[in-house]
Structures are given as structure tokens and as C-alpha cells.
Amino acid sequence: MTGSTIATELMEEKHTAVPPSLLSRFSTLLPYWKAAATMIDMVLDIVVMIKYYTRGDLGFAWACFVCLFSNLALQSLFVVFAYRQKSLWQNCREQLYIWTLIKPAIDVHRVLNEEAKHISTHENTIMSYRAEYTTMRIIEITTECVPGSIIQAAAMLASGEISTIIIVSFASSLVTSAMISANISFDWDVSTEQRACDPYFYGYIPKSNMARFRIFLALFLMAFFNLTVRTLAFTIFARRSPLAIFFLVVGEMVLYLAFKLITRDYHYWVPAGSTSYVTVSRVVVKLVVDFTACAQLRHPNELGGFYFSFSLLSTVGIGLGSLALYSGDDDKQAVDTELISSIILYSCAGVAISYFSLLRQIPRNYARTFFSVDTCCDHTCALFELAKSEKPVSEGGISIDHRTDIFLVNEKIWRKAIGDDVKAWLQQKLPTWVDESPSWFSPAIRAALPDWAIDDTSLLDEIRTPEVEEIRLSRMTTSRPLGN
């Protein structure tokens, strides 16, 4: 199937792909269940923190507090930046949502409302509600869910008391993380906007309600078992030697960054940031995938398909390696060796089964994205060529040329490969855009246009309004993170 055929089918699917009656029992309720699970998990973490404190485990209590506070504080700082152009009252309202733990429900409501009204970005902020929602959930995974799971697993292995509330909280952290991971992948793939912009990557989830449920279940189980293995394995390694965790994480990270350097894919796709920002972004994405197996992050702009699958293989290897260590541990405290070994072994099998089940259910042309070694440059150039071969598509009555999406990608990635083609196309189209000023030719798009691609200084002066210059200076991200 050619790119042209894929794009045509996707645009025809735009009006029929997600009939409300078909998905009312599953897709409509799914975000609300996930939001509820997230809020319940935070409440359970507070309860467990208090329990650790009352029984004298101050180290575990403070560790839980640091995780929860870091999650809320980073979300708070992100909102301050994202809503900096809004009023003080609106900023205070967002802070209240965060610190009263109801922000996940608010985000879900906004995303669904945004999709119903076909809005891509909300006023006076740097990204869409979908992007804000995804960023918040990644902050939650990296600062609370995953660290909290490891802390609670360590407490269970080290303590002679394993209460029901601790077991429930531990399971809640695993389920919440897995649900966030699966929902991010599911939500981005069923988006008609993403399918139209990037038909090579988005579209593996079919229209059938039952098929969507099966794929979501496979994504959820893959994330759940992956996190279970990593959590218990890292806890076992930490009990034997804390340095083992350091060398394991650093070793995996060095190997990954070396792979990106060798394949000339080190630059991050976001058109902003220094070398340290690029490195931090790469490290965060790698850690999220290592623990949650978020299939969305197999995108060539992020981890890449090959390394995503390699990460799952590494998880199984780490899990099996921890079994040998735990079997030889003489200080097992209250947790039975056979129980822990069985959980890790079955979870390793669960990772493999759910992964191959997912591949078996999706079309073959999308299954290859789980093994692809395409770089961000390869993918960006392919999308530009695809958009060039297609007529501008109509979205909501507005004619949009998706070649403009290339300006949302770091030009260091694609300029050497297709910079001349992009410049020639822009020189041809820009006068028309300036004269007609279509609604999609927003200040954000104008700010993304590179100076080197515009020879006409009068056009450049007309484009670079004070509002555009402010966006250029303060821009942190774009309206489509985590892939495209």
C-alpha cells in the first residue's frame, strides 16, 4: 500500500472512523476511568505514606512524600509556563486543580471537548489540551508512579509487615502507570488529525470496537507486566548493591545514546533547546519506555521502533537476571522466594505474550514500526514527500498543506537533506499565504518559518510581527509532541 493510498483512505475515514454509537461503551468511558484511577492512586499514596510514618518507617514515608510532591510541583511549574499569557485568576485556578488532585479529570474533560469542537490549540497557551494532558501524565509516571512502585516494592521486601493497603497501593501504582501508557498510545493513534498528518505511523488501531478493546488490552498488559518486572528486578538489585542500579541504568542509557549518535539521530525533534536539553529529553523518553513500554514512544522522533523492541527484550533479560540474585539472597525477610520468583517469571512471559499478541492484531505495514530503524530525518523527509505528492486536504472547510508540519521539527534534523526543496516550496507559497492569511497560518506557524528560507526581506518583515517575535523567543514546544 503506497503512502498516497494510505493518506486517501485516512481522509475518507475522517468522517466515519469513530462513530459515537460504536465507541460509547468503551472509548468514551476509558479516559474517565483512567482519570479516576490516577486520582485514586494519589490518594492511596498519601494513605501509604501515613502508614509508613506511623509504624516508624520514616525513610519510606519521606521517599513517598518526595515522589508525590515532585509530581505536583513539576506539574505546577509546567502550568506556570504554559499559562503564562493567561490571567492571574486562570493561573490560580489551574494551580487549585493540581493541588486538590483533580487535574487529571479536568484534563480529560478538556481533551474530549477539544476533539468535539475540532480545536488544535487553546488560546494563549503553548500547546493543545491533548499535548498538555500527555505532558502531565508523563510527569506523573516519571516522578510518582514508577518511583512509588519501586519504593513500595522495596518496603515489602525489607519489612516483615505487608498490609492490605500497601498491597492495594502497590497494585494501584502498577495499574495506573500501565493505563496511562496504554491510553497515551491509544489516544494518539485514533486521532484523525494525527492519522492525516502521519499515515505511516498512526492508524494501526482499527475501527471495530472489539478490535480496539483487544489492542488496548494488549497495550495495557504489555505496560503492566513490563513495569512489574522492572520494579521487582530493580528492588532486588538495590538490596544486593545500590551501585548495581546505578551501573544498570547508566549502562543502558550510554548504550542508547551511543546508538543515537552512531545512527546520526541524536538531535531531538523539538525545535528548541540546547545540547543539555536534547540529552535530558532523550534520557526521559528512554526511562519512560524502559518502565512503561509506551508504544507511542516507538515513533522515529522519539526512541525508534528497533530500540523500543530492544528495550522490551532488555526488560526480560533484567528480570531473569534478578531471579538468580534473589534465589541466592540469604536475607529474604518476610517475602517468600518462590512467590517473588513466580511473579517475575510470569511477568516476563506476560511481556512477551502481550507484545506478540499486539503485533499479531495490527496490520503488517504498522507492525514494521516496532522494528524500524528509520531516524527522525528519514521519517520527516518521507512525510514531506508524501504531502508534496498529495493535494492540500480540507479540514473543517480549511485547505491545509501538511508540508508546513516540517517547521514543527528541529531544522537541524532535515535541513541538510531537503533544505533546498523546502526553501523552493516556501518561496513559491509564502506570498500567497501572506496575501490570503488563511486561519491556519497562525502566529505559531509564522514563528516557525526559518529566516534562511525567506529571501524576500519585505515578506520577512511582514511576517515577523511583535507577537510572532515573542513566540519565537519564548517557544518551548509545539502543538504535537510525542511523535509529530
The model's pLDDT over 190-210, given as tens digits with 9 standing for 90+, comes to 888 888 888 999 999 988 888
pLDDT given at position 120:
47
Angle of helix 129-140 versus helix 58-82 axis, rounded to 10: 160
pLDDT given at position 29:
67
- The pLDDT of residue 421 is above 70: yes
479 pLDDT tier (thresholds 50, 70, 90): very low
State the burial class of residue 483 (Cβ atoms within 10 Å of its Cβ: 0-12, 13-18, 19+): buried
- The pLDDT of residue 412 is above 80: yes
* CA dist., res. 266 & res. 256, Å (int): 10
CA distances (Å), origin 122, targets 104, 171, 400, 479: 17, 36, 19, 10
pLDDT given at position 393:
53
Q: What DSSP designation does 410 have?
A: -
The model's pLDDT over 260-301, given as tens digits with 9 standing for 90+, comes to 999 999 988 877 666 777 888 899 899 999 999 999 999 999
Parallel, antiparallel, or unpaired for β 398-400 and 393-395?
Answer: antiparallel
The model's pLDDT over 448-471, given as tens digits with 9 standing for 90+, comes to 888 888 888 888 888 888 888 877
Q: Grid coordinates in use for 375?
A: 531516524
Q: Report the chain's mean pLDDT, rounded to a whole number.
A: 81
Q: Collapsing DSSP states into helix, strand and coil, what is residue 336?
A: coil
Amino acid found at 145: C
- Whole-structure pTM value: 0.81
Place of cell 505511523: 201
- Range with lowest mean pLDDT among 71-75, 91-95, 172-176, 477-481: 477-481
pLDDT given at position 2:
41
CA distances (Å), origin 346, targets 176, 256, 291, 315: 20, 27, 17, 13
Give me the percent of the chain exceeding a pLDDT of 70: 82
Q: What is the dihedral sign for C-alpha 69, 70, 72, 74?
A: positive
* CA dist., res. 71 & res. 321, Å (int): 31
pLDDT given at position 477:
42
> Which DSSP string corresponds to 430-472?
HHHHHHH--TTS-HHHHHHS-GGG---HHHHHHH--HHHHHHH
Degrees, nearest 5: CA angle 411-199-21: 130
Amino acid found at 1: M
* CA dist., res. 398 & res. 384, Å (int): 20
State the burial class of residue 6 (Cβ atoms within 10 Å of its Cβ: 0-12, 13-18, 19+): middle
Strand partners, 399: 394
- The pLDDT of residue 152 is above 50: yes
Phi-psi region of 442 (alpha: psi -120 to 50; beta: other; left: phi over 0): beta
Comparing CA positions, the residue from 472, 468, 385, 380 lying closest to residue 425 is 385
Place of cell 498538555: 132
pLDDT given at position 127:
64
pLDDT given at position 254:
94
Q: How crowded is residue 175: how many other Cβ atoms within 10 Å of its Cβ?
A: 19
Strand partners, 314: none
- Range with lowest mean pLDDT among 129-143, 219-233, 396-410, 445-459: 396-410
How many helices (H) and strands (E) in the chain?
21, 2
* CA dist., res. 278 & res. 200, Å (int): 25
The model's pLDDT over 364-385, given as tens digits with 9 standing for 90+, comes to 999 999 999 999 999 999 999 8
Give the pLDDT mean for 19-44: 68
- The pLDDT of residue 472 is above 80: no
Most confident option among 14-23, 360-369, 446-455:
360-369
